[in-house]
Amino acid sequence: MATPGTWDRSQEPLQPLTGFNPKGFSGDPASAAGKPGMGPWIRMVPLIAFSGLHPTTGSVHDPLLVLDGLEDSGIRLKCLSERLFSEVKVLWMDGKGRNITGNALSTDTSGNAGSSIVLKPGSGNAVSCRIVDNLGKTSTESSVVITESFFPTISLWLPAFVMILLFGIFLVLAAVYKLRINQKATDQEKNAQKQIQEENQEMTTKIEQIQAQLDFRRAQSNAVPLTLDELCKHPELSLRDRSRVVSCSAAEQLHPKPAVLAKESFSQGKHYWEVEVRDGSGWELGVLAEEIRDSLRKDGMALPREREQVLSLGYSRGEFTIPGGWNSGPCPVLGVFLDQESHNLSFFDVEGKSLLASLPLRFSGNLFPFFSPGSDGKGLGIRSVGGS
């Protein structure tokens, strides 16, 4: 099979040679063929005669210049060329013929020749790619002219825009930082105010407790002895313990409520006494005017339904009750403080040393303490206070 670029006559039929006499041989080929040693010479002659048709150097085509794209604020330019069996060098030249390749780019004997270069703005409009055939000492060249408009440009407003953008970002970050600082300060202030309020509330509570204890001690300092009056009691009530305890013998709660009065009465000043109510229910105690006392003695010592001159505190169904709906939990001992100077009737929790209620005293004159026990049989007892 023939090699590309050669002319192979070995496949053609041999023709008689005339006029050719190698090494003095004469005669036609047919006669020589029968002689020993002559056959090979006949076949070698055509091959040697046409061996000059084989090319020894490759052919180089004009290079193709390709704009490959933008890169690093410049344009990448490629130079491509097909070649055959030659070693070539690829050179880049500017418009004045100066080598701008730096080092010549050599290629081997396989594939196509090619190279690339990045043109920067201001490096010149004209550029050439030259391919030099090292064996044949020939070269081929292609040129291109690239105007400055093809190079990427930066707008004059871009730096200003970038500066404005950075400044805006800085302002936003500064504002966010300021807001966080302010929010943190606000939170700290709120926490401080909350802590102060809690401390004030705690201090106020302590002051109120101390004040209540002081009020209780002041009231208790006005203690007076009381004795129940056998002549001013309801028939269903019984007295014992030197007329200091009263209880009800009725099986059911009576209506109106039965009552017993103390022998002592008060028309002025401050007076305090304590009553043991234990865990009884349905009882009532307080003070009433002398006019009510006189009417009770006539009506059988049952408390009137009209309470214009009666001021009291009751306990029923697990709650303390007073006019106006105030209620509280039970306490075993009540302190009663009659202050005719300030026109108040106050009730204290003796064990808690705290004020339960303070009622305005709207009537005056001679006032009598009264007691009305419940029907549970537990009764009410007057307790001594100090030396009273």
Provide the CA 41 distance to its chain's centre, in angstroms. 102
Kindly state whether residues 104 and 167 are assigned to the same domain.
no
- State how far the Cα of 6 lies from the Cα of 50, in Å rounded to an integer: 9
Look at residue 97 in the predicted model and tell me its pLDDT.
81
Please write the tens of the pLDDT for every residue from 131-176.
887 776 788 888 888 877 777 666 667 788 889 999 999 999 999 9
- State how far the Cα of 280 lies from the Cα of 378, in Å rounded to an integer: 6
337 lies in some domain: yes
Provide the CA 269 distance to its chain's centre, in angstroms. 67
128's enclosing H/E stretch is strand 126-133
218 lies in some domain: no
Kindly state whether residues 248 and 102 are assigned to the same domain.
no
Kindly state whether residues 163 and 296 are assigned to the same domain.
no
Kindly state whether residues 106 and 140 are assigned to the same domain.
yes
Which positions ≥6 away from 137 have C-beta within 8 Å?
none
Kindly state whether residues 137 and 87 are assigned to the same domain.
yes
Kindly state whether residues 245 and 363 are assigned to the same domain.
yes
Kindly state whether residues 111 and 30 are assigned to the same domain.
no
Kindly state whether residues 304 and 329 are assigned to the same domain.
yes
Kindly state whether residues 195 and 255 are assigned to the same domain.
no
CA nearest neighbour of 129 among 60, 223, 182? 60
Q: Which residue has the tokens 């407790």?
A: 209
Kindly state whether residues 233 and 375 are assigned to the same domain.
yes
145 lies in some domain: yes
326 lies in some domain: yes
How far apart are the two ends of the chain, measured CA to CA in Å? 149
- State how far the Cα of 301 lies from the Cα of 55, in Å rounded to an integer: 154
Look at residue 19 in the predicted model and tell me its pLDDT.
41
Look at residue 166 in the predicted model and tell me its pLDDT.
94
Kindly state whether residues 233 and 309 are assigned to the same domain.
yes
110 lies in some domain: yes
Give the CATH number for residue 359: 2.60.120.920
* Structural domains in the chain (count): 4
- State how far the Cα of 107 lies from the Cα of 86, in Å rounded to an integer: 9
Give the CATH number for residue 125: 2.60.40.10
Kindly state whether residues 295 and 354 are assigned to the same domain.
yes
The residue type at 69:
G
329 lies in some domain: yes
Look at residue 388 in the predicted model and tell me its pLDDT.
56
Q: Which domain holds residue 136?
A: 64-150
245's enclosing H/E stretch is strand 245-248
219 lies in some domain: no
Look at residue 80 in the predicted model and tell me its pLDDT.
85
Listed as ranges, residues in the chain with pLDDT below 70 are: 1-60, 83-86, 102-112, 123-124, 136, 152-156, 251, 322-330, 386-388
Residue 5, CA atoms < 13 Å, CB-side half-sphere: 9
Please write the tens of the pLDDT for every residue from 1-40.
443 443 343 334 434 434 434 333 344 444 434 444 444 3
Question: What's the pTM?
Answer: 0.52
144 lies in some domain: yes
Q: Name beta bridge partners: 65.
A: 79
